[in-house]
């Protein structure tokens, strides 16, 4: 009996490590980290992206974290360096990011982003009035773009300005050219009279107007641009190495599946829809024609 008991104990001892390995918890996944271009005031961005992080974490079953950045180029750099795996880019910053990161994909855009618009806005003191034709009377006045890499605040308005004034750069058309940094700031600069005219994302104009931040007696929309593709969610091509095969499509499905108005309203979007890189080829052409894309 003694020999049998010793044999049984030895067998149990030998099985111990195997059983421990079999019951060990699976290795925790690192957080999916994302950012977004700082296109409006910071408090609105924190509200917007905090809700997205909570939603995606619950939907995907992986930790999700939002990190803010200070500028449009910083968002592209964070994506390029792998500090973030996902980003809410403008049309042009998305083009820049995907050019720098082979395999990156645009996966979802707002329903409104397929046909986006720039507004030209003017201080009331200019006397400029709304018109369907491009307002050539803005020539000689002070003008502010948004961020230097903004689609609706720089790339497209510069393209339309160059079309309206052939052979001239914005610096040749206007008395002074500025870059506000974001769309909310553009509105405030034109409203205050610091600049006579500016180019702004129409959705931020609508959000700021709804929030009571626009004085309609001081500033107004004088022109609405033709439509162009803009904002989108772009993901790095290497996410499936970390989160498993099919993760890109799961992420796309989660974004497209957002129905909560509390998440959508801070974006000024009715819903998100699927999209691919091909939808942004027009911006590649415009970027090259204006010299803003290599």
251 and 237 in one domain?
A: yes
Tally the domains of the chain.
Answer: 2
- If asked whether residues 83 and 135 sit together in one domain, one would say no
Residue 23 lies in a domain: no
pLDDT at 25: 54
Pick from 224, 250, 266: which residue ends a domain? 224
Residues 149 and 213 in one domain: yes
Closest by CA position to 194, among listed 202, 185, 203: 185
- 157 and 239 together in one domain: no
| Residue 26 binned pLDDT confidence (cut-offs 50, 70, 90) | low
CA 233 to each of CA 89, 119, 211, 261, 277: distance values in angstroms, whole numbers, following the listed order: 6, 23, 25, 18, 11
Say whether both 169 and 213 belong to one domain: yes
Both 211 and 136 in one domain: the answer is: yes
Crossing angle of helices 72-80 and 91-100, rounded to 10°: 30
- Residue that finishes a domain, picked among 207, 224, 241: 224
| Burial readout 22-39 (b: 16 or more C-beta within 10 A, e: otherwise) | eeeeeeeeeebbbbbbbb
pLDDT (0 to 100) of residue 11: 44
Q: How far is Cα 290 from Cα 227, in angstroms, rounded to an integer?
A: 18
Same domain for 200 and 139: yes
Is the residue at 12 inside a domain? Answer: no
Residue 262 counted as domain residue: yes
DSSP string, 44-94: HHHHHHHHHHHHHHHHHSS-EEE---SSHHHHHHHHHTTS-SEEEE-HHHH
Question: Are residues 168 and 255 located together in one domain of the fold?
Answer: no
* Domain interval for residue 61: 32-114+230-289
Is residue 285 domain-shared with residue 270, that is, in the same domain?
yes
- pLDDT, residue 23, reads 52
Q: Are strands 118-123 and 142-145 parallel, antiparallel or unpaired?
A: unpaired
The predicted pLDDT at position 20 comes to 46
| Model confidence at 181: pLDDT above 70 | yes
Residue 3 lies in a domain: no
Q: Are residues 52 and 104 in the same domain?
A: yes
Q: Which of 204, 224, 244 is the last residue of a domain?
A: 224
The pTM of this model reads 0.85
| pLDDT of 67 over the 60 cut | yes
The answer on 274 and 146 residing in a single domain is: no
What's the CATH code of the domain at 238?
A: 3.40.190.10
**Is 9 within a domain?**
no
What tens digit of pLDDT does each residue of 270-286 get? 999 999 999 999 999 99
- Report if residue 10 sits inside a domain: no
Q: What are phi and psi of 290, to 5 degrees?
A: -90, -5
Whether residues 217 and 164 share a domain: the answer is yes
């Amino acid at each position: 009996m003694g020999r049998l008991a010793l044999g049984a104990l030895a067998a149990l001892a030998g099985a111990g490590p195997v059983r421990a390995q079999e019951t060990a918890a699976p290795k925790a996944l690192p957080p999916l980290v994302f950012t977004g271009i700082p296109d409006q005031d910071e408090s609105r961005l924190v509200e917007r992206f905090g809700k997205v992080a909570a939603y995606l974490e619950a939907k995907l079953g992986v930790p999700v974290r939002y990190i803010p950045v200070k500028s449009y180029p910083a968002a592209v750099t964070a994506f390029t360096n792998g500090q973030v795996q996902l980003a809410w880019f403008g049309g042009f910053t998305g083009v820049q990011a995907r050019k720098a990161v082979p395999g990156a994909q645009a996966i979802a855009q707002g329903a409104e982003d397929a046909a986006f618009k720039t507004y030209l806005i003017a201080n009331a003191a200019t006397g400029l009035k709304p018109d369907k034709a491009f307002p050539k009377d803005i020539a000689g006045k002070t003008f502010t773009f948004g961020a230097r890499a903004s689609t609706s605040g720089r790339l497209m308005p510069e393209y339309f300005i160059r079309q309206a004034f052939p052979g001239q750069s914005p610096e040749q058309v206007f008395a002074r050219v500025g870059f506000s940094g974001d769309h909310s700031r553009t509105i405030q600069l034109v409203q205050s009279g610091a600049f006579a005219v500016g180019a702004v994302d129409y959705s931020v104009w609508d959000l700021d107007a709804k929030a009571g931040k626009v004085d309609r007696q001081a500033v107004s929309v004088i022109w609405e641009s033709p439509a162009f593709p803009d904002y989108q969610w772009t993901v790095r091509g290497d996410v499936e190495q970390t989160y498993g095969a099919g993760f890109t499509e799961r992420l796309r499905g989660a974004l497209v599946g957002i129905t909560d108005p509390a998440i959508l309203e801070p974006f000024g979007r009715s819903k998100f829809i699927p999209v691919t890189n091909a939808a942004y080829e027009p911006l590649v052409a415009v970027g090259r024609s204006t010299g803003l894309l290599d």
